[in-house]
């Protein structure tokens, strides 16, 4: 299964926890404790788990990403090398435990889609 995420900014962190929960509710998961694998099939986007209780965390992450991109001359002709760099730092996938058919995240945790070359329409693959 997969979900679509539409981004609106060059760098954007979007809480997709509820969308993932909705997708999981539509899947026939095996009984017992499991895990879900979330994979981003894009080279300029990523996924992570972090605090989503306070939206300022996502704002701070976006701001920090804009500041850590080095101002150097890149050879990649598309002009999006910083997005590839950030995607490699964060990573294309995460594994989240499932207990009683729901995400077993920590109290403040949520699933965050990380856009580094937006705005775009992106896919998140959900596998178990």
Segments making up each domain of the chain, as ranges: 2-70+77-127
The pTM (predicted TM-score) of the whole model is 0.93
According to DSSP, the residues that pair with 112 across neighbouring strands are 15, 48
CA-CA distance, 13 to 48, in Å (whole number)?
Answer: 10
The CATH H-level (homologous superfamily) assignment of domain 2-70+77-127 is: YjbQ-like (2.60.120.460)
- Could you read off the pLDDT tens digit of each residue along the chain, which spans 128 residues? 999 999 999 999 999 999 999 999 998 877 776 899 999 999 999 999 999 999 999 999 999 998 998 767 888 878 889 999 999 999 999 999 998 878 999 999 999 999 999 999 999 999 98
User: Which tokens hold the place of 2?
Assistant: 């997969």
């Amino acid at each position: 299964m997969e979900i679509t995420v539409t981004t609106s900014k060059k760098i954007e962190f979007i809480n997709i926890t509820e969308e993932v929960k909705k997708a999981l509710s539509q899947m026939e998961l095996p009984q017992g404790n499991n895990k879900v694998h979330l994979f981003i099939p894009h080279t300029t986007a990523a996924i992570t788990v972090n605090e989503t209780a306070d939206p300022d965390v996502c704002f701070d992450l976006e701001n920090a990403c804009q500041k850590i991109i080095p101002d150097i001359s890149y050879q990649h002709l598309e002009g999006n090398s910083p997005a590839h760099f950030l995607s490699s730092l964060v990573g294309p996938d995460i594994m989240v435990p499932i207990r009683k058919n729901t995400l077993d995240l920590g109290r403040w945790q949520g699933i965050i889609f990380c856009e580094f070359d937006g705005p775009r329409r992106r896919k998140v693959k959900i596998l178990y």
